[in-house]
Amino acid sequence: MTGLCLAAAAISAALPLQGFTLAWTHSIEKIRWEEDYRIVGQHLELVEARIRGSGAGMEPPDGAMLKNGVWHYRPTLPLLPRLRLARSGYVADYELCWDAQCKPFRDIVDAPEAGQVVDLFACDLK
């Protein structure tokens, strides 16, 4: 079975997920972003993205639809082998959401260290 792995320095976690939402708050505008992914083979597919507003550098792309104050759109990206996310203790942590619950990364792979990078990728679960 394939799932989602998270790796940061010497810390790792494997979750039995086939889909998840990555969420974060923009560090300047304080607006929430969400991206829905599903695992396809050994890759991640970005299915939909949402922005709960707009601001500097955060304009919704062409074709985005406003529904209940949230911009919805589908980015046109190829399948991704992994996501590399930089974390900082100076801004709100990323959240990983599945089964109608969200958890900050610190609850999954510990608190961020300065300049820490977390990789998210599809992996085989034993």
Tokens for 36, please give them. Answer: 């829905």
pLDDT bucket at 114, cuts 50 / 70 / 90 = low
In terms of average pLDDT, the best of 32-41, 87-96, 113-122 is: 32-41
Of 107 and 89, more confident: 107
Of 115 and 59, more confident: 59
pTM for the whole structure: 0.90
Per-residue burial over 62-90, b if 16 or more Cβ lie within 10 Å, else e, is: eebeeeeeebbeeeeeeebeebebebeee
